[in-house]
Amino acid sequence: MAPRTAVGPGEVHVAAGYSRDPSTVANTQVPELHLLTGEYPPMPGGVSDYCAQLAAGLAAEGASVHVWAPATDGAAPSIDRVTVHRLEGGWCRRSLMAMTASLARFPRPRRLVVQYVPHAWGRRGLNLEFCRWLRDRSRHGDDISLMVHEPFYPWRLRDKPTRWLLALGQRWMIKQALDASERVYVAIPAWERYLRPYDRKRPMTWLPVPSNVPFVDAKGRVSELRARLAKNGELIVGTFSTYGPLIARLVREALPPLLQGHPDRVGLLLGRGAARMAAEIAAHHPSLGPRLVAPGGLDAESLSLHLQACTILVQPYPDGVTSRRGTIMAPLSHGAPIVTNTGFLSEGTWSETGCVALASGPEPREIAALAEGLLVDPDARAELGRVARRVYDARFSVKHTVRRLLES
């Protein structure tokens, strides 16, 4: 059973036999949305941060927002017009029954916005009961919108048979979820190719995921931080990642050439796993060890300052840059000069707008060559940063997500 939540302001426990709702009187003139998510603050994760940002944005536009999420330790942030309903036991059958009873207290039509990530619903990524429940809610008149952050586990011939079962089961799940939905959103356009075999009729709308790192406007603090990181005025070559195996290999090959033979440069590794990544690079290139900085876990404010301190950021991705990656959206929203690469999941936006320096694929040498060109050209860096910020505001800001949800 999930740990019992400390109930904070605007939080409600939902358990079998217990479905108290503080908002029993509805104002039919006010838009009312129910966000269903597998994670919500204080739970960590990109979807968790996204949902909190989305809930706050919707509430700021006058909507009444109800978030349904698993119970966890700690209380959610208090946001006006946002009520968090905590499901004891997560997305199990008993919790779903209790949620059905709680939803019955709200007037119809009830709009449920499902933040779909297959493994987020528990049961080791195979919560068939949850998807059947969505179908049942649809049959009973609820209006379901599906936001697909991730569709399903990929088929891999060399995987264990249990992984084949996972891939098959998650395809059944997404088929049920699509059938239950009135409208479908995708975190990246490429997901539509994966979903079309399971739903050939419904329109699918790209709903980009905004940055979850708010910009901190503090030039003085950024200058102080830069002076500490680059004591002799060195250029700061940053990278922001969780350093999974595939990305770690690319960073390990792309970053050292930008530092070797350049004592006027330091490497700044940000994100979970950065210390491990720095140690791996130093093991292969001992001379670079003193010029690698990995500050460890940073809160959002500190992360914003560190992103602003970077001269450039090098962001390689094996499947290509996409807007679903928080590690690209954060520096983009900060107007940072970014070097990255295209791939089979990449949107056309990156090449169309010129908001990043874009390699043709995840080839470390090409990425390093593009980065080298920026490091020796301050005017090009400044212009790239200006374009990055302008494109983010025009296409990716949370205000666009909120508007599309309220208009549909």
User: Would you place residue 150 in the very low, low, confident or very high pLDDT band (cuts 50, 70, 90)?
Assistant: very high
Confidence check: pLDDT of 97 > 80: yes
- Looking at the fold, whether 278 and 175 belong to one and the same domain comes out as no
Instruction: Please tell me the distance from the alpha carbon of residue 57 to that of residue 201, in angstroms, as a whole number.
Output: 30
The pLDDT mean for the chain works out to 91
- Looking at the fold, whether 112 and 235 belong to one and the same domain comes out as no
- Looking at the fold, whether 390 and 402 belong to one and the same domain comes out as no
Mean pLDDT of the region 38-55: 94
- Looking at the fold, whether 193 and 64 belong to one and the same domain comes out as yes
Would you say 316 and 250 are in contact if contact means Cβ atoms under 8 Å apart?
yes
Mean pLDDT of the region 125-138: 96
Phi-psi region of 128 (alpha: psi -120 to 50; beta: other; left: phi over 0): alpha
- Looking at the fold, whether 196 and 237 belong to one and the same domain comes out as no
Residue 266's DSSP bridge partners are 236
Instruction: Please tell me the distance from the alpha carbon of residue 189 to that of residue 148, in angstroms, as a whole number.
Output: 11
- Beta strands (DSSP E) in 317-401 are 338-341, 357-359
Residue 107 lies in a domain: yes
Only one residue has tokens 């290509």, namely 320
Residue 80 lies in a domain: yes
Residue 4 lies in a domain: no
Residue 369 lies in a domain: yes
State how many domains the chain has: 2
Of the listed ranges 10-19, 66-75, 179-188, 249-258, the least confidently predicted one is 10-19
- Looking at the fold, whether 403 and 388 belong to one and the same domain comes out as no
Residue 169 lies in a domain: yes
Indicate which CATH number applies to the domain containing 388.
3.40.50.2000
Instruction: Please tell me the distance from the alpha carbon of residue 307 to that of residue 290, in angstroms, as a whole number.
Output: 20
Instruction: Please tell me the distance from the alpha carbon of residue 57 to that of residue 44, in angstroms, as a whole number.
Output: 19
Q: 2 by DSSP, 3-state: which?
A: coil
Q: What is the pLDDT of residue 341?
A: 98
Mean pLDDT of the region 205-210: 93
Q: 293 by DSSP, 3-state: which?
A: strand
Report how far apart, in Å, the C-alpha atoms of 396 and of each of 10, 306, 354 are.
Answer: 29, 21, 15
Only one residue has tokens 């992984």, namely 163
Q: What is the pLDDT of residue 17?
A: 35
- Looking at the fold, whether 253 and 173 belong to one and the same domain comes out as no
Alpha carbon of residue 348 to chain centroid: 19
Instruction: Please tell me the distance from the alpha carbon of residue 60 to that of residue 82, in angstroms, as a whole number.
Output: 10
Only one residue has tokens 């960073």, namely 251
Mean pLDDT of the region 220-237: 94
Report how far apart, in Å, the C-alpha atoms of 106 and of each of 58, 61, 79, 84 are.
Answer: 18, 20, 20, 15
Mean pLDDT of the region 143-168: 93
- Looking at the fold, whether 280 and 385 belong to one and the same domain comes out as yes
pLDDT in tens, 254-277: 999 999 999 999 999 999 999 999
- Looking at the fold, whether 193 and 318 belong to one and the same domain comes out as no
Name the burial class of residue 298, with classes exposed (0-12), middle (13-18) and buried (19+) by CB atoms within 10 angstroms of its CB.
middle
Would you say 242 and 274 are in contact if contact means Cβ atoms under 8 Å apart?
no
**Helices 128-139 and 161-180, packing angle to 10 deg:** 10
Only one residue has tokens 């990656």, namely 325
Confidence check: pLDDT of 14 > 70: no
Cis, peptide link before residue 318, omega less than 30° from 0: no
Closest-CA residue to 151 (of 112, 185, 183, 122): 185
Q: What is the pLDDT of residue 296?
A: 82
- Strands of the sheet with 265-270, listed across from one edge: 292-293, 265-270, 235-240, 312-315, 338-341, 357-359
DSSP string, 184-219: EEESSTHHHHHHGGG-SSS-EEE-PPPPSS-----H
Q: What is the pLDDT of residue 203?
A: 92
Mean pLDDT of the region 138-148: 96
Q: 367 by DSSP, 3-state: which?
A: helix
Residue 380 lies in a domain: yes
Residue 294: which H helix or E strand, with range? Answer: none
Q: What is the pLDDT of residue 297?
A: 81
- Looking at the fold, whether 335 and 240 belong to one and the same domain comes out as yes
Closest-CA residue to 213 (of 20, 28, 53, 33): 53
- Looking at the fold, whether 362 and 269 belong to one and the same domain comes out as yes
Closest-CA residue to 184 (of 168, 167, 207): 207
Q: Are strands 183-186 and 143-148 parallel, antiparallel or unpaired?
A: parallel
Please tell me the pTM assigned to this model: 0.87
**Domain range for residue 133?**
11-210+397-407
Residue 238 lies in a domain: yes
Closest-CA residue to 337 (of 314, 369, 360, 362): 314
Residue 3 lies in a domain: no
User: Would you place residue 408 in the very low, low, confident or very high pLDDT band (cuts 50, 70, 90)?
Assistant: confident
- Looking at the fold, whether 247 and 103 belong to one and the same domain comes out as no
Mean pLDDT of the region 91-102: 95
DSSP 334: T
